[in-house]
Amino acid sequence: MVKNKKFILVKHFEGEIDKSCLKLEEENVPTLKANEVLTEALWMSVDPYMRPYSAHLPLNSVMIGSQVAKVVESKNERFKVGQLVLGYFGWQTHTVWNPSEMSSALGNPYVLPDFGDLPPSLGLGIVGMPGLTAYFGLLELCDPKPKEVVVVNSAAGAVGSCVGQIAKNKGCFVIGFAGSDKKVKWLKETLKFDAAFNYKTKDVSEALKEAAPGGVDVYFDNVGGEFSSSVLYQMKDFGRVAVCGSISSYNADHKHLPKATIIQPPLIFKQLKMEGFVVTRWKKRYEEGIGQLLKWVKEGKLVYEEHVTEGFEKLPDALLGLFQGENTGKAVVKV
């Protein structure tokens, strides 16, 4: 009998990720019925959205998340044994699902395109949701032009590293912020960012005055809070701001959210355009985005890095690690 291992959310997180909120269970995998598919997880994703989104997950549900999984049995003609599928099946090793009954707000399962020699885990990263977030968020909301100054934070992470590289490929002057000197070195030497700073040791306003004395055209924000107030006060007239994430506040108590310097003065007097987004807005264009990102990776126009944690049981540690800045590039778990 095949066994499914799964993590159940038994308590909502309060403050930092607490591993005791997740309980590991095991169960028998049921026999397939007509039209059903059985997949086995190969790679699992840990993403910052899991912290805010899990607050709305009913207790005792399987923890939310995406995975690259292999079809191991199929009674559905659309999915064949051996195919690799990207699905939001949650934190479990084996999933029985009926393609015609899937209706995830996060996106329905799809067969991965041919990655050639590239690792299939990229379907969770630069050729998956984080890459799509960078691609659509930057290009659709900010429309970066050659020579414009683009600032991105959490720049050595999955989304930020892709944003910065797409902006570089568009001919922009790219400034990244990350939380360690090692990450800063990677941004400058490997990803060829024009400037990069460790926000833990360098004041953000001072850094921008040094690197972009004329001001910032585009700000892709993954962090929020006071960091963002600082950047907004350094924007040029008609600057564009994509509000992608607010990881600095995800662990905060929502009744006592951190305060930041008001942002209305630069919004008004610099006539900024600032827009929040969720990547699923472009769900109907995912195929286009994935095709483009994969092409750029194959052409060497997008460089990727993965932070791999070994073992399904280590998922909670890997999720916690995101909030401790452990990862350079995309954080994934090898099952």
What residues line the site for ligand NDP (CB under 6 A)? 47-49, 130, 133, 154, 156-160, 178-180, 183, 222-223, 244-248, 277-279, 322-323, 325, 327, 331
Site for ligand LF5CGKIW in 133-172 (CB under 6 A): none
Q: Give yes or no for residue 107 binding ligand LF5CGKIW (CB under 6 A).
A: yes
How many Å is the Cα radius of gyration of the chain?
A: 20
Q: How far is the CB of 106 from ligand LF5CGKIW (least distance, A)?
A: 4
Residue 274 binds which entry of ligand NDP, ligand LF5CGKIW, none, CB below 5-8 Å type-dependent: none
Between CA 213 and CA 29 the distance in angstroms is 60
Q: Give yes or no for residue 55 binding ligand LF5CGKIW (CB under 6 A).
A: no
User: What are the tokens at 74?
Assistant: 């199929």
Q: Which one, of 277, 143, 160, lies nearest residue 220 by Cα?
A: 160
Between CA 125 and CA 294 the distance in angstroms is 11
Report residue 262 CA to chain centroid gap. Answer: 27
Q: Compare residues 40 and 305 and give the one whose CB is closer to ligand NDP.
A: 305
Choices 31-39, 149-157, 184-192, 275-283 (CB under 6 A): range interacting with ligand LF5CGKIW: 275-283
Residue 289 binds which entry of ligand NDP, ligand LF5CGKIW, none, CB below 5-8 Å type-dependent: none
C-beta neighbour count of 180 within 10 angstroms:
16
Q: Can you tell me which of 106, 139, 263, 320 binds ligand LF5CGKIW, judged by CB under 6 A? A: 106
Site string for ligand LF5CGKIW, 187-206 (x = CB under 6 A): --------------------
Residue 107 binds which entry of ligand LF5CGKIW, ligand NDP, none, CB below 5-8 Å type-dependent: ligand LF5CGKIW
Q: Which one, of 188, 187, 189, 223, lies nearest residue 204 by Cα?
A: 223
Q: H or E segment at 51?
A: helix 50-53
Between CA 182 and CA 268 the distance in angstroms is 37
Q: Give yes or no for residue 65 binding ligand LF5CGKIW (CB under 6 A).
A: no
Inter-axis angle of helices 286-298 and 129-142, to 10 degrees? Answer: 100
Q: What are phi and psi of 255, to 5 degrees?
A: -85, -15
Q: How far is the CB of 333 from ligand NDP (least distance, A)?
A: 14
Q: Give yes or no for residue 10 binding ligand LF5CGKIW (CB under 6 A).
A: no
**Which 8-state DSSP code applies to residue 329?**
B
User: Which residues on adjacent β-strands are paired with residue 87?
Assistant: 67
Between CA 268 and CA 287 the distance in angstroms is 37
Q: How far is the CB of 330 from ligand NDP (least distance, A)?
A: 6
Q: Give yes or no for residue 49 binding ligand LF5CGKIW (CB under 6 A).
A: yes
What does the angle CA 279 – CA 282 – CA 284 come to, to the nearest 5 degrees? 135
Q: Give yes or no for residue 57 binding ligand LF5CGKIW (CB under 6 A).
A: no
Q: Give yes or no for residue 109 binding ligand LF5CGKIW (CB under 6 A).
A: no
CB distance 157 to 186 below 8 Å: no
Q: Give yes or no for residue 289 binding ligand LF5CGKIW (CB under 6 A).
A: no
Residues that bind ligand LF5CGKIW (CB under 6 A): 48-49, 106-107, 129, 245, 278-280
